[in-house]
């Protein structure tokens, strides 16, 4: 069955993604497979060539220590779908959540998030050499693109396409089955997701620290994150963290206390982290 009008776009933009995610010995095979693909089946085969090898003991991908209480398995279980409610801080939460897995060698793909830059990913702790970005997904091809990325990456972060762009119910069922079959993790940034999520994370209202009245810089954001879901994740859990922390990434609130330094007369308090008797900006 032909890929249709969007096939050329998908093949062109997935070439660098899939070839880059393959090992050097696989690069030629992946390159040829992607460039000559004319059907969805052939495109899926290209993804299979790039699929990294996963050891049996790596069924749970690491997450930042402060976020671990939110996950019944202590991390991202392969074959699962995680929904992150779209709210201020949601993208930062998703990127920071998968950073330890990427640092341990897993591939992360981001699709359809045009506003996500490499600088933001790097500040979240993601090693850029383990990150593949497809900033725009063609209309009507969201399910196809995400399925191809699930063949090549350990974690895929994406925004579900609205309307017909996300595919029909049958496409969504096949996508959920692909996640389980490939042992990948699909992270969906949306209030409503097209496939049942095993875990949902809801970032609460964040409070930024570091700015006084007309002076200073934003240093850290205190955020409450709530988790709920199905089966083992049914019992709601909540943590309060710094995201981002003053030094980037995620930090527990009790490990990065915020203190108020006595201001000079007529000025606003300065907020920062106390460390070894001094203020860390």
Q: Give me the residue spans of the domains in the chain.
A: 1-50, 57-200, 203-280
What is the percentage of the chain residues whose pLDDT exceeds 90?
31
Can you tell me the distance from the alpha carbon of 270 to that of 261, in angstroms, rounded to the nearest whole number? 6
Mean pLDDT of 100-122: 86
Mean pLDDT of 96-116: 90
Are 80 and 181 in contact by the 8 Å Cβ rule? The answer is no
Pairing of strands 199-203, 80-84: parallel
Torsions phi, psi for 232 (to 5 deg): -65, -20
Can you tell me the distance from the alpha carbon of 235 to that of 239, in angstroms, rounded to the nearest whole number? 14
Omega of the bond prior to 244 within 30 degrees of 0, cis? yes
Tokens (6 digits) for 281: 């900006």
Are 52 and 183 in contact by the 8 Å Cβ rule? The answer is no
**What string of H, E and C letters represents the secondary structure of 91-112?**
HHHHHHHHHHHHHCCCCEEEEC
User: pTM of whole model > 0.75?
Assistant: no
CATH topology for the 57-200 domain: Rossmann fold (3.40.50)
Residue 51 in this model has a pLDDT that exceeds 70 = no
User: Pick the residue with more confidence: 263 or 150?
Assistant: 150
Can you tell me the distance from the alpha carbon of 272 to that of 281, in angstroms, rounded to the nearest whole number? 6
């Amino acid at each position: 069955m032909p890929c249709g009008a969007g096939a050329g776009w998908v093949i062109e933009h997935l070439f660098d993604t899939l070839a880059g995610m393959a090992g050097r010995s696989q690069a030629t095979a992946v390159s040829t497979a992607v460039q000559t693909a004319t059907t969805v089946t052939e495109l899926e085969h290209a993804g299979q060539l790039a699929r990294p090898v996963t050891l049996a003991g790596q069924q749970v991908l690491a997450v930042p220590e402060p976020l671990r209480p939110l996950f019944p398995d202590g991390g991202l279980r392969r074959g699962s779908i995680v929904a992150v409610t779209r709210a201020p801080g949601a993208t930062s939460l998703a990127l920071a959540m998968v950073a330890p897995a990427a640092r341990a060698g897993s591939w992360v793909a981001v699709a359809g998030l045009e506003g996500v830059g490499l600088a933001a990913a790097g500040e979240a702790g993601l090693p850029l050499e383990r990150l593949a970005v497809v900033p725009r997904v063609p209309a009507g091809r969201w399910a196809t693109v995400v399925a191809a990325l699930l063949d090549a990456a350990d974690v895929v972060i994406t925004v579900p396409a609205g309307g017909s762009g996300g595919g029909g119910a049958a496409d969504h069922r096949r996508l959920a089955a692909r996640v389980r079959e490939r042992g990948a993790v699909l992270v969906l940034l949306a209030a409503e997701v097209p496939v049942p999520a095993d875990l949902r994370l809801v970032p609460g209202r964040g409070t930024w620290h570091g700015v006084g009245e007309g002076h200073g810089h934003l240093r850290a954001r205190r955020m409450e994150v709530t988790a709920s879901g199905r089966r083992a994740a049914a019992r709601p859990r909540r943590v309060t963290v710094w995201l981002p922390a003053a030094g980037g990434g995620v930090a527990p609130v009790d490990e990065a206390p915020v203190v108020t330094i006595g201001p000079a007369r007529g000025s606003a308090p300065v907020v920062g982290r106390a460390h070894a008797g001094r203020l860390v900006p």
